[in-house]
Amino acid sequence: MKDGEGFRGGSGGADRSGSVGALFGELESARCVLDAAATAAGTASAAVAVGRGPGALGLAADREVLAVADLVEGLARRVAGLQVRLAGEVEARQIAERRGERSTVCLLRDRLRISAGDAKRRLDVAAAVTAGSSLTGQPIPPVCPQVAEALSGGLIGVDAAHVLAEKLSVIREKSVTAQSDVLDGRTADEVAVQAEEHLLEQALSYDSGFVARCGARWVAFLDPDGSPPSDIETRLEHGLWFGAPRRNGLVPFKGAMSQLQHETLLSAAGPATSPRHANGKDAGCDVATSGKPVRDDDRDADERTYQHKLLDGLIACCATALKAGAVTSGRANASIMVTIDYDTLYAKTSGHGLLAHSGPVSVSTVRQLACDAALIPVVLGGTGQILDTGLSRRLFTPAQRRAIIARDHGCIMPGCTAPASWCATHHIDFHSEGGPTSTDNGALLCEHHHGVIHRGEWTVTMRDGIPWVIPPAWIDPNRTPRRNHFHDPPGPHKRE
């Protein structure tokens, strides 16, 4: 049977032979999965709850409800994979064109009563995960073979697959034009394969939003300079504009800045947005060494948005500088944390450093910053561990915290994107239980996850000088140690 002939015979019917027939077979077998899986999950109450509707869920224990929720989600992902394959089949057969529809998106929207956005998302994913054949009949593997396997196996959903396909497309493009020292002796294809493997690993554990942010870091690593603005764009867009005061007393403004200027602003004003500070009163201060903890009543009383807090923090920094007489005609040095390899900084080669807020940055920008900045060396081992000796004091010194930031970059809890400025320095072996105040016993944790660790379900352990987090058994029965790779500089280097 040639492509398309199964849909030419009648209106409303479909030939079940060939590849589409196989899809029908998969869908029919999938209908039996839920009942069998629910029965295997535990007691009969879980199976009864699924079979009789939401009202019967009260018969099941918490453990059973969670187990069945996992199974239903897996089944939904399997069905979503079939939806993607069918959308790709409709596109390949050009059914929309032969039936007078404007596009396959319109056909899927009208036939399946889904939004045009959902239809386009399915087609985009299908283009990345569907195998094809050449004009000579030779098979062509999917563009994203690992993503295709995970989607067809029900390990990821369409949202995650779409994010992966979108980010990997940009990564492949950037890896072709990336400089040789960035590729570290690997070909563009090898980098693309490693990127797919790494991002898929994140998709198997975290939501698609987190995967998108990890993908953006890969793109920034491969192209740290981005597309430099032209002189005309710089003159027209770079700057700050104030509008006329409104009747409500607010003055609107907008602007655009360089990456280094953005890092300076967030380093100075960003602590005001941290949950560790009440009402932004400590804006511009080092959150590791100053500021009072937020009381519950303070947190509840502060209803400002993130944007409001950031503006208040910026104004507080300006007010503090004015009071201290620090505003002069000269340039004030910014306190910015940037991590970069010693040889990369001083050798006349290209490369990248890692800013606390903005991520990968070109070595040329780091060298510019280093012209009037104090350079604080932190000696790291081959696998990134800090080489130092323990101290017995209760609080971590600023030097110790800087060293820990150079290693962790942010909260170590897997899936957390909180920067270092939002984090406390946690004693892995509690100080109250005799744990030393040393970099080998310290790790960065945001306020929320600091409390999670102290509640005892999650634990932190050091392996070769690197902090790993062990989840509770109700999340991972095997309690396999995990690392938060979000803060790592992405690229073709060894990962645990």
User: Does residue 275 form part of some domain?
Assistant: no
Q: When comparing pLDDT for 319 and 158, which is higher?
A: 158
119 lies in a domain? yes
**Among residues 222, 252, 284, which one ends one of the domains?**
222
Q: Percentage of the chain surpassing pLDDT 70?
A: 64
Express each pLDDT in 246-258 by its tens digit: 877 778 888 888 7
pLDDT tens readout for residues 113-168: 999 999 999 999 999 999 887 788 788 899 999 999 999 888 999 999 999 999 99
What pLDDT score does 95 carry? Answer: 92
Do 475 and 394 share a structural domain?
yes
Do 94 and 15 belong to one domain? yes
At 404, is the pLDDT very low, low, confident or very high (cuts 50, 70, 90)?
very high
Euclidean distance between CA atoms 30 and 25, whole angstroms: 9
Contact (CB, 8 A) for 263 and 257? no
Q: Are residues 15 and 78 in the same domain?
A: yes
Q: Please give, one letter per residue, the 3-state secondary structure of 45-73.
A: HHHHHHHHCHHHHHHCCHHHHHHHHHHHH
More confident residue, 407 or 220: 407
Q: Can you name the residues that pair with 254 across neighbouring β-strands?
A: 241
Asked if the structure places residue 418 within a domain, the reply is yes
Residue 436: is its pLDDT beyond 80?
yes
Lowest mean pLDDT among 41-45, 175-179, 268-272: 41-45
Last residue of a domain, one of 222, 238, 260: 222
What pLDDT shows up at residue 183?
75
Average pLDDT of the residues of the chain = 74
Q: Which pLDDT score is estimated for 494?
A: 46
Is 250 within a domain? no
Domain region containing 415 = 385-490
What's the chain look like in SS3?
CCCCHHHCCCCCCCCCCHHHHHHHHHHHHHCCHHHHHHHHHCCHHHHHHHHHCHHHHHHCCHHHHHHHHHHHHHHHHHHHHHHHHHHHHHHHCCHHHHCCCCCHHHHHHHHHCCCHHHHHHHHHHHHHHCCEECCCCCEECCCCHHHHHHHHCCCCCHHHHHHHHHHHHHHHHHHHHCCHHHHCCCCHHHHHHHHHHHHHHHHCCCCHHHHHHHHHHHHHHHCCCCCCCCHHHHHHHCEEEECCCCCCCCCCEEEECCHHHHHHHHHHHHHHHCCCCCCCCCCCCCCCCCCCCCCHHHHHHCCCCHHHHHHHHHHHHHHHHHHCCCCCCCCCCCCCCEECCHHHHHCCCCCEEEECCCEEEEHHHHHHHHCCCCCCCCCECCCCCECCCCECCCCCCHHHHHHHHHHHCECCCCCCCCEHHHEEEEECCCHHHCCCECHHHEEEEEHHHHHHHHHCCCEEEEECCEEEEECCCCCCCCCCCECCCCCCCCCCCCCC
Quick check: is 245 in a domain? no
pLDDT of 86 > 60? The answer is: yes
Shared-domain flag, residues 395 and 480: yes
124/10 same-domain check: yes
Domain boundary among 104, 130, 156: 130
Q: Do 51 and 112 lie in a common domain?
A: yes
Residues 36 and 123 both lie in one domain: yes
Whole-number pLDDT of residue 2 = 39
- Is residue 285 a part of any domain in this protein? no
Residue 41's pLDDT band, with cuts at 50, 70 and 90, is: very low
Mean pLDDT within 174-186: 78
pTM: predicted TM-score of the whole model, two decimal places: 0.61
Which is more confidently placed, 378 or 216?
Answer: 216
Q: Which amino acid is at 290?
A: S
* 100 HSE (CA, 13 A, CB side): 0
Q: How many domains does the chain have?
A: 3
